[in-house]
Amino acid sequence: MFCCRPVNPRPIYCPLVVQSQNNIINPVITNQFGFFNNPSPETIENNTIIPLTLVTGRRTNITQSTTTTGAVTLLPGTYQVSYMANGVTPTGENVTITLELNGVEVAGSAVTASGAAGTSVVLGQTIIVNVPGISTLELVNTSGETTEFFSASMTINRL
């Protein structure tokens, strides 16, 4: 506890009293982002897009594609992409998902899970994607055979 005291020959001296407060500040999202998902079970053929729909987004660099059903349109830039899918292993006992940019596999984006046929698996990862021009980003079943997916999503943040 501080108290004021006289200091000769000066006037009364009062030390600064500092009070601590717990100020909670909600984060303000200033970057561009988009969240896309597909919670419905769907049987997806090999090398076919797992369709995703825009749920929420901010700004215009990340939007639902108007040219490729179930895909995402990105303007030039660098993006952090987190994607996942719940699938059922087909007879080949492997489930693989891959990101494709304009129909070409994004290097390092393939994720594979294994299990006995009919086993539920979860696949997912986060990757940085550089987009040189207006592009379409797709989540694709690359398991080598038709596979059932019962949930899929993608979160994209522009860096």
Domain ranges across the chain? 29-158
- Main-chain phi, psi angles of 89, to 5 degrees: -65, 130
CA distance linking residue 15 with residue 72, whole number of Å: 60
Residue 150 in contact with residue 41, Cβ under 8 Å?
yes
- Model confidence over 98-143: pLDDT tens digits? 999 999 999 999 999 999 999 999 999 999 999 999 999 999 999 9
Residue 57 has pLDDT above 90, yes or no: no
The pLDDT of residue 50 is above 60: yes
Residues in Cβ contact with 143 at an 8 Å cutoff, skipping those fewer than 6 apart: 46, 87, 90, 92, 94, 95, 96, 97
Q: Mean pLDDT across the stretch 13-27?
A: 55
CA distance 115 to 90: 9
pLDDT over 50 (residue 1): no
What CATH number matches the domain at 29-158, 3.20.20.10, 3.40.50.300, 2.60.40.10, 2.60.120.40? 2.60.120.40
pTM: 0.79
Q: Name which residue leads in pLDDT, 94 or 59.
A: 94
Q: Report how far apart, in Å, the C-alpha atoms of 145 and of each of 32, 45, 89 are.
A: 35, 6, 10
Hey, which bits of the chain come out as E strands?
5-7, 10-13, 33-38, 42-44, 48-49, 53-58, 62-64, 72-74, 77-88, 94-101, 104-105, 111-114, 120-131, 135-141, 147-158
CB-based burial label for 68 (10 Å; 0-12, 13-18, 19+) = middle
